[in-house]
Amino acid sequence: MPAERPLDEPGGCVLLADDEDALRRALGRQLRNRGYAVVEASTGKQAIAMLDEALVDVVVCDINMPEMDGMTLLKLIRERDAELPVVLLTGSPDVATAVKAVGYGAFEYLTKPDDLSRLGDSVARAVTQRRASTVRRRLLESAQASTERRVRHTGPIATGALVDGRYRIGKLLGIGGMGTVYEARREDLAGMPVAVKVLHPRLEARSDQLRRFRREAEVVAKINHANIVKIIDFISADDGPHCLVMELLDGETLASAIAHDGAFTEQRVAFIAVQVLAALEAAHGVNVLHRDLKPENIFLTNISGVADVVKLLDFGVAKLTVSDEESRLTETGIILGTPAYMAPEYARGEGTSSSGDLYALGCVMYEALTGKQPFAAANYNALLFAIQEKTPQPVRELRADVSAELAAIIERAMSKNASERFASAKEMASALKPWTTWEPPRDSSRKAIATAPTEESQPVRSRS
Rounded CA separation 44/27 (Å): 17
pTM of the model: 0.59
Same domain, residue pair 387 and 441: yes
Same domain, residue pair 337 and 355: yes
Burial of 63 (0-12, 13-18, 19+ CB in 10 A): buried
**Residue 1 located in a structural domain:** no
**Are 309 and 300 within 8 A, CB to CB?**
yes
Same domain, residue pair 128 and 167: no
Amino acid 260: pLDDT? 92
**Residue 157 located in a structural domain:** no
Rounded CA separation 391/427 (Å): 24
Question: Domain of 219: which CATH number?
Answer: 3.30.200.20
Q: Which residues contact 235 (CB under 8 A, 6 or more apart)?
A: 163, 164, 167, 241, 242, 243, 244, 245
Amino acid 374: pLDDT? 94
Run of H or E including 111: strand 108-111
**Residue 410 located in a structural domain:** yes
Same domain, residue pair 324 and 372: yes
Q: Tell me which residue of 433, 386, 387, 376 sits closest to 409, measured CA to CA.
A: 433
Condensed to tens digits (0 to 9), the pLDDT of residues 187-224 reads 988 889 999 988 877 666 666 666 777 777 777 777 87
Same domain, residue pair 358 and 388: yes
Same domain, residue pair 186 and 331: no
Active site residues: 292
Rounded CA separation 176/357 (Å): 21
Rounded CA separation 316/288 (Å): 12
**Residue 7 located in a structural domain:** no
Same domain, residue pair 232 and 292: no
Please give the DSSP secondary-structure letter assigned to residue 442. Answer: B
Question: Domain of 351: which CATH number?
Answer: 1.10.510.10
Amino acid 235: pLDDT? 83
Same domain, residue pair 452 and 328: yes
Radius of gyration (Cα) for the chain, nearest Å?
A: 26
**Are 306 and 440 within 8 A, CB to CB?**
yes
**Residue 417 located in a structural domain:** yes
Rounded CA separation 271/250 (Å): 19
Same domain, residue pair 433 and 318: yes
Condensed to tens digits (0 to 9), the pLDDT of residues 336-356 reads 456 789 899 887 777 778 999
Residue 377: what are its φ and ψ, rounded to 5°? -155, 170
Question: Domain of 136: which CATH number?
Answer: 3.40.50.2300
- Coil vs helix vs strand at 311: strand
Amino acid 458: pLDDT? 38
**Are 171 and 179 within 8 A, CB to CB?**
no
Same domain, residue pair 360 and 435: yes
Rounded CA separation 317/328 (Å): 13
Q: Which residues contact 47 (CB under 8 A, 6 or more apart)?
A: 15, 17, 41, 59, 61, 73
Condensed to tens digits (0 to 9), the pLDDT of residues 133-156 reads 776 666 655 555 444 434 333 456
Rounded CA separation 370/263 (Å): 6
Q: Final residue of a domain: which of 223, 247, 271?
A: 247
Of the listed ranges 44-53, 410-419, 435-444, the one predicted with least confidence? 435-444
Q: Which residues contact 300 (CB under 8 A, 6 or more apart)?
A: 251, 252, 253, 254, 257, 272, 307, 308, 309, 310, 311
Average pLDDT, the chain: 80
Condensed to tens digits (0 to 9), the pLDDT of residues 247-305 reads 899 899 999 999 999 999 999 999 999 999 999 999 999 888 888 899 999 999 988 77
Amino acid 451: pLDDT? 39
Hey, which of 47-61, 87-101, 148-162, 234-248 has the most confident mean pLDDT? 47-61
**Residue 292 located in a structural domain:** yes
Same domain, residue pair 287 and 336: yes
Amino acid 97: pLDDT? 72
pLDDT at 460 over 50: no
Q: Final residue of a domain: which of 217, 247, 277?
A: 247
Domain housing 367: 250-463
Of the listed ranges 128-132, 317-321, 378-382, the one predicted with least confidence? 317-321
End-to-end CA separation in angstroms for the chain? 54
**Residue 155 located in a structural domain:** no
**Residue 378 located in a structural domain:** yes
Q: Final residue of a domain: which of 102, 117, 148?
A: 148
How many Cα atoms within 13 Å fall on the side-chain side of residue 232?
17
Same domain, residue pair 339 and 414: yes
Cis peptide leading into residue 113 (ω within 30°): yes
Number of domains forming the structure of the chain: 3
Amino acid 280: pLDDT? 95
